[in-house]
A = this chain, B = another copy of it.
Amino acid sequence: MRKKIYFLALVVLLLFSCKKSDGLTSPTTENNQTETEVNGDPLPSWNEGTLKNDIIAYVEKVTKEGSPDFIPLENRIATFDNDGTLWAEKPLVQELFAFYRVKKMVEANPALAQKQPFKAVIEKDKSYFEKGGDKALIELVSATHTGMSEDEFEKSVQDFFKDAQIPGKNIPVKQIRYQPQLELLNYLRANGFKTFIVTGGTIEVVRGISEDFYGIPKEQIVGTSFKYKYDSDKNVVMREPAMDLFNDKEAKPVGIQLHIGQRPVFACGNEGGAGDIAMLQYSQGNKYTSFQLLVNHNDSIREYSYQEKDNASLNAAAKNKWHVVDMKKDWKKVFSDN
């Protein structure tokens, strides 16, 4: 229950924090590096240095047969957080989707504009949600994310992503992906790793773009899920207005067990919301040699600079010897061009 309240609080927080963000530079101003392997370099958008060397040394030693660190193919599981790890999280795309859903629902049924919680969203009436508490929030999430079949929801996700842009930026959502991470995903897969997304976002929203954006199939997405119910007469799976798993923080190892069934050997998250500490710690408990990577958002020019108040993620990284991406120093370019 605490988790549900937390999630809802998060949703409303994000729903009303959609300020124009200054950090995200248009990709046209990005250093236009080649996007694929360059002169045998699998990570051309990563600057030369200790971190890049460590990543490559790790992959080489665990994939070399006969090496004491060798990991069998079926155990080469790599998990990546999504928001702030594979793409920028300001603004949160899930938030843009919620706005989109409200807009579409009101278009289809204008009377909704006079009904809560739609009215409050359209009028940007924060007080409605502050006063209404959980009830109003459950109402909002239920109204926009559930109460329809999976087929219908999938279509709404596809429609949203077709021409979704970052507000005020004219940047397609696809271009907020981090180019160095796309290369890292490719590099791991080329070495027999199976790549998964383990996200606090809702599972079907991420599944809507995972193959196209990241080359990761739907069944390799672990995320926040609602309850489902099969309607035999209509032959559809319905989305029920109740959360099943809020896949953040200490729930990430739970989602990993449910969907993957083994600890990852390679786990990558980001600081910002302390959402990935448990996943990285869980990965480190693997019996095989493992690698933990934490993205530090310290690049106010090309992306953003934001830190947790208590520094929990970076402290955990220092204590547990996790590798930290110093975005400013380690990434030659930040965003994908296309």
Name A's B-contacting residues (CB within 8 A). 74, 77, 150, 194, 196, 203-204, 207, 211, 217-221, 225, 228-230, 232, 235-237, 244, 250-254, 256-262, 278, 281-282, 284-285
* CB < 8 Å neighbour of A278 from B207, B230, B244: B230
**Which B residues are CB-close (under 8 A) to A244?**
258
Given A217-B74, A219-B219, A235-B285, A261-B204 contact (CB < 8 Å): yes
Given A203-B261, A259-B219, A254-B282 contact (CB < 8 Å): no
* CB < 8 Å neighbour of A281 from B217, B232, B260: B232
Contact B218 A262 (CB under 8 A): yes
Contact B259 A237 (CB under 8 A): no
Given A74-B217, A219-B194, A237-B254, A261-B207 contact (CB < 8 Å): yes
Q: Which residue of B lies closest to A212 (CB)?
A: B74
Contact A254 B281 (CB under 8 A): no
Query: How far is B72's CA from A217's CA once the two chains are assembled, in angstroms?
Result: 12
Q: Which residue of B lies closest to A229 (CB)?
A: B254
Contact A259 B259 (CB under 8 A): yes
* CB < 8 Å neighbour of A228 from B196, B217, B220, B258: B258
A-B contact pairs, 20 of them (CB 8 A): A74-B211, A74-B217, A150-B257, A203-B261, A204-B261, A218-B261, A218-B262, A221-B261, A228-B258, A229-B254, A230-B252, A232-B250, A232-B281, A235-B281, A235-B284, A235-B285, A236-B285, A237-B256, A237-B257, A259-B259
Query: How far is B77's CA from A284's CA once the two chains are assembled, in angstroms?
Result: 32
Query: How far is B244's CA from A232's CA once the two chains are assembled, in angstroms?
Result: 21
Given A281-B235, A282-B235, A219-B254 contact (CB < 8 Å): no
Query: How far is B285's CA from A86's CA once the two chains are assembled, in angstroms?
Result: 34
Taking the nearest CB of chain B, how far is it from the CB of A223, in angstroms?
A: 10
**Which B residues are CB-close (under 8 A) to A150?**
257
Taking the nearest CB of chain B, how far is it from the CB of A157, in angstroms?
A: 11
Taking the nearest CB of chain B, how far is it from the CB of A32, in angstroms?
A: 30
**Which B residues are CB-close (under 8 A) to A251?**
230
- Ranked nearest first, the 5 interchain pairs of A and B with the lowest CB-CB distance are A218-B261, A230-B253, A235-B285, A228-B254, A237-B257
Query: How far is B260's CA from A113's CA once the two chains are assembled, in angstroms?
Result: 36
Query: How far is B230's CA from A261's CA once the two chains are assembled, in angstroms?
Result: 14
**Which B residues are CB-close (under 8 A) to A284?**
235
**Which B residues are CB-close (under 8 A) to A252?**
230
